[in-house]
Amino acid sequence: MAKGLVITEKPSVARDIAAALGGFTEHEGYWESDDRVLTFAVGHLFELLEPEEIDVKFKRWTLDVLPILPETFQFKKKKGHTDRIRVIEKLAKRDDVDRLVNACDAGREGELIFREIARYLETTKPIERLWLQSMTTESIRNGFRNLMPGKQLEGLAQAAECRAYSDWLIGMNATRALTKRLKSRKETRAWSAGRVQTPTLALLVDKEIEVLAHVPRPLWRVTASFAAVDHNYTATWFDPAFATNEDEERRDDRIFERGRAEAIVAAAQIGTAAGVGAALASETRKPSRESAPPLFDLTSLQREGNRRFGWSARRVLGAAQSCYEAYKLLTYPRTDSRCLPSDYRETVNTVLEKLSDARGDGVSDYAAGAKRLLRDGLLNQDRVFDDAGVSDHFAIVPTGVLPPADMRADARRVYDFVTRRFLGAFHPAALWERVERTTVAGGESFRTRTRALMEPGWRAVLPAGEDEEAAPPLPALARGRDEANDVAVRTQEVLSIEEETKPPARISEGRLLTLMENAGKDLDDEDLAAVLHEKGIGTPATRADIIENLIGKGYAVRQGKSLRPSVKGIRLIDTLRRIHVDRLASAALTGEIEQHLKQVENGGRTAADFIAEMKEYASEIVERTKTFEYDELYEKEAELGPCPACGKPVIEMAWFYRCQEDPARPETTPDCPMRFWKDTSGRYLDRTAIAALLRDGRTPVLDGFTARSGRTYRANLEIDRDEWRLQVAPAGWNEEAASETPEYEVNTEALGACPFGGEECKILETSTHFACTAWLADAEVQTAFRAAKKAAREAGVPAPEKPEKADHALFVFPRTVCKREITREEALVYLRDGKTELLTDFTSRMGRPFSAQLVMKETGRHGFEFPPRGKMGAKAEGAEGAVADGAKSAGAVPAKKPARGGRRVGKKPDPGTTRVVRAKKKGGARKAAAAKSAKPRARKTAAAAKKQAAPQAE
């Protein structure tokens, strides 16, 4: 009997299909039934050849061989996947297999994974496509009843290949060219660039330049409290005649002169001391409707996770993918649609019926909302059921499967707000009452604005206490009236509050996803955003990895919920724009390339035309990078002021600011020693800071310095005119967000006995670890010892004795390893066998996903055991990817020994002591200048330094 060979993207999906269809017998690496053979890939089994595999001349990174423009693109087997490929090939060549079924994930990348396999097999057998929106048993069965011809998705396959080829062309060429021109002798990593990651970085850099250029200004706000007939209220002063001007920091409620603030307070307080301070209040009350928000697509879901919990985009995607694959709770998450198809109405009713029977903690709210909809009917159907708004996939909605009691915490949270959004989408609008009250006291105007929830509508499905915007209603000035004028109230207290202007907020990860989706446009207009939807940077499925790549490659860092670029990231974008490689740093232009990929998918552009465009683009990048001169980069920039050392004008250069060199200076005359390096204690020194430093000898308080612990702090920069050194004078720590390590729900049942401590020592769950009771007790002792040691140091008394270590190993196993959650089931296998099964979806510190087994060591801690693989070949970081940590690659240029006399690079100190940044000097002039300017100077003691520092060292 002829059989179809079904190939899935992951082993877990193959197991789910075997269970849903039934009748399969498991063999080594595959399953078989009467009419199907079922096997799996492990993500991409093939990859594009490296440049040196195309031609040996590309082995050395030299500018003369660029650009690299292969006539054809060839694939090779990925290291470590030979056995898996052999199994698939053997099955595909069986005489009883007459067709192949592509059951990889339903999207562009899943299509590419399968087409790579099909190309390698050189098969002429027909191909069918399984397109799953949900992983429930019934959805899988329906999918196999409605297989599509493979030719129907030929456009998607071509777009997938074009995406891979374009990333290779831009990444390989741009990374090699930029690395050769920008890498310093002490750097060991490439200056990676890519078609998608670089314009994303540019969005962060543009905002960071605004933040760094901000200079705080003192301002005052005046607030007052008033007593009406039956209630008290507060109000804030504002200027009714305010008009916008060129000063963007001015607002109608800001006062920039202390005297004016004091005058306003005095005028409003007239008569309050005697208790007769009369004021007149007027108000308007207007109803306001708030429609239910649309269903989630992946990007909006990631924004919600970032807004609520500060989660990264990757963490949200991982939890949603778990809900889809492992628990079958949600439909396919990697979607860009927020609508449902018109034929999904019956499915929605079925899901509501299942939710209406939900019982237990955390799901009873679903039952109430579902029953209300089944009783009253569904609203907003024209907006929700919209075929025109559905692309390859529809919105993320629940499948009707109820969550198990032992569900992972992250997955439970994502399932919860997807389900509540699904229920809310069919509810009526929420009704608010907006109140604006103006109170005039002593001729000065004060404003009170509030809104109160009158009818919850769709907000009824939100969990209790979730609605932060709702406030108690403000009693009316005149009962039963929507408007009131000149009602007498009594002034109680008037206060002037001193503040200072804040820099613009950095971009949160959720906001960055929105900017990527809208091709860099900062839009609040949903209609305009929809127009730019197809011009976004990347796709919903890839944006999380793009962000992680930027962090892994050292171009960006997380700071709380926000992202900020590193000094290296700022310099990369600045250089690209100055050498006129604007397209590589432009979100809008790169968004157009993404639109061209859509056109390839839809037949509006040929793959050949697209690749020709990308080759021309890569050539342009290489040519401009090869030919620019450093002296030309900043020649049009204005001078910043006189050098404090020699008086000559200070100019900007690629790595630092320095005084303008005198061409006529004899070689025997020492060069001016002063340099202001752009990278100072982890902060980029922008032109505004340098101008202030030259003008005043000291900057205002600047933000964004980074300690070796990773914490950020504020500081002043000063010039030490005796030693010509740049000093960093700390001015306080920044508040940091909570740890990125997630905390999980705890199952109090012990996992078993400790393998090191005997039967009496049990393995327990905590919110962050699986650990034995001895380890937990020791952790408490160590915490108490550190606290006692710190207290003794502060009191100036001898430190307590260090507690003795346990006489045996202590078992501890984190619940998060390399950004991947370790489930209780996986921990039980680890405890039983001393190692886990092969686990996927770990993320290295370079941002690269990898697979490994976790192995228990004799110390009680874990180690990694990797799948067998050959010698690591070269891989370019620039091809929108990254290599595993420690691997030699084209993106990790071999390190060179530092030049003699080069500065030793050490760890950055915490801002507990003043940071001294020594000026660099060139060649033989270094020693001469040092000898000339050297002066005896007493070293500061550690105590003096500690006393001087604003924030105390950790």
Query: What are the strands, taking DSSP E only, across 147-231?
Result: 148-149, 218-227
- Give the three-class secondary structure for 121: helix
* Close Cβ partners of 309 (under 8 Å, ≥ 6 residues apart): 413
Q: Both tokens of residue 32?
A: 């078989």
Q: Is the pLDDT of residue 602 over 60?
A: yes
Average pLDDT (275-290) is 85
pTM for the complete prediction?
0.79
Tell me what pLDDT residue 469 has: 60
Q: Is the pLDDT of residue 477 over 60?
A: yes
Nearest to 331 by CA among 314, 351, 345: 351
In angstroms, what CA-CA distances link 39 with 28, 147, 840? Answer: 10, 17, 18
In angstroms, what CA-CA distances link 743 with 83, 740, 780, 831? Answer: 38, 9, 19, 21
Give the model confidence (pLDDT) of 482-537 as tens digits.
788 999 999 999 999 999 998 899 999 999 999 998 887 765 545 444 545 667 88
Cis omega before residue 909 (within 30°)?
no
Give the model confidence (pLDDT) of 10-55 as tens digits.
898 999 999 999 999 999 999 999 999 999 999 899 999 999 999 9
The residue type of 53 is E
CA distance 701 to 179: 34
Phi-psi sector, 125: left (phi>0), alpha (psi -120 to 50), beta: beta
Tell me what pLDDT residue 41 has: 95
End-to-end, the C-alpha distance of the chain in Å comes to: 72
CA distance 916 to 919: 10
CA distance 303 to 544: 11
Q: Is the pLDDT of residue 939 over 80?
A: no
State the DSSP H helix or E strand holding residue 284, giving kind and residue range, or none if neither. Answer: strand 278-290
Nearest to 174 by CA among 148, 188, 192, 187: 192
* Close Cβ partners of 208 (under 8 Å, ≥ 6 residues apart): 506, 564, 565, 570, 684
CA distance 454 to 287: 9
Model confidence band, residue 900 (pLDDT cutoffs 50, 70, 90): very low
The phi, psi pair for 483, rounded to 5°, reads -135, 150
Q: What is the DSSP letter of 947?
A: H
* Close Cβ partners of 317 (under 8 Å, ≥ 6 residues apart): 298, 302, 333, 334, 544
- Please say whether the beta carbons of 178 and 625 come within 8 A: yes
Q: How many CA atoms lie within 13 A of 279 on its CB side?
A: 36
Report the mean per-residue pLDDT for the chain: 84
- Among 124-138, 321-335, 461-475, 584-598, whose mean pLDDT is lowest? 461-475
Residues with a known catalytic role: 332
Give the model confidence (pLDDT) of 170-216 as tens digits.
999 999 999 999 998 888 889 999 999 999 999 999 999 999 888 88
